[in-house]
Amino acid sequence: MNQHGLELRDVSVVSPSGQGSAERLLLEHISLRIALGEWVQLAGPNGSGKSTLVKLLTGQLDRNCIVTGEIRSALALETYPYVLQHPESGIVGATPWEDLLLGQEQRGAPEEQARTLMERVLAQTRLSAIRHRPVAEMSGGEQQLTA
């Protein structure tokens, strides 16, 4: 695990039964390893579990879902960055700094911890130099990194 940022072993996710609905298997026996700093693209047909996997990996999975298997992570799951299919829909701040700040405020992160994380993310994504540039003035690639 020391060389991997994230490792899943035989992970399955089941959506619990609700009013009049049966349990649904959302992910079945998924295993993968992602190194820290590695970029990964998820592709597959509709209904194959891409969104469920992203929600699981970013700490956004419905808490009522049942997760089995083993998840090892070098970081808290909520801290893993991801880019949406349409990145512009994920940008809520006017600048990269504001976008990150809003996300940290929503999570209730303490201010000092939030600033430290934001500086690290900006450095890793090479957005430090343009942290206060309006998103509307950025290239498409810069917008993807911001998202």
pLDDT in tens, 78-117: 666 666 555 555 566 778 888 888 878 877 888 888 888 8
- pLDDT of amino acid 29: 96
Contact 135, 143 (CB under 8 A): yes
Nearest CA to 125 among 98, 104, 144? 144
- Band of the pLDDT at 2, cuts 50, 70, 90? very low
- pLDDT of amino acid 140: 76
SS3 57: helix
- Band of the pLDDT at 3, cuts 50, 70, 90? low
The pair of structure tokens assigned to 84 is 């949406």
Give CA torsion, residues 6, 11, 16, 21, to 10 deg.
Answer: 120
The larger pLDDT score, comparing residue 98 to residue 31, is at 31
Contact 109, 117 (CB under 8 A): yes
Nearest CA to 135 among 91, 102, 104? 91
For the chain, what are the domain ranges?
6-79, 87-146
End-to-end distance of the chain based on CA atoms, in angstroms? 28
Nearest CA to 54 among 84, 87, 29, 11? 84
The pair of structure tokens assigned to 21 is 């609905």
The larger pLDDT score, comparing residue 31 to residue 19, is at 31
Reply yes or no on whether the pLDDT at 14 is more than 90.
yes
Q: What is the DSSP string of 61-80?
A: S-TTSEEEEEEEESS-GGG-
- Band of the pLDDT at 66, cuts 50, 70, 90? very high
Q: What are the backbone angles phi and psi of residue 29, rounded to the nearest 5°?
A: 55, 55
- pLDDT of amino acid 41: 81
* 47 DSSP 8-state letter: T
- pLDDT of amino acid 89: 55
Farthest-apart Cα atoms in the chain, separation: 53
Average pLDDT for residues 122-129, to the nearest whole number? 86
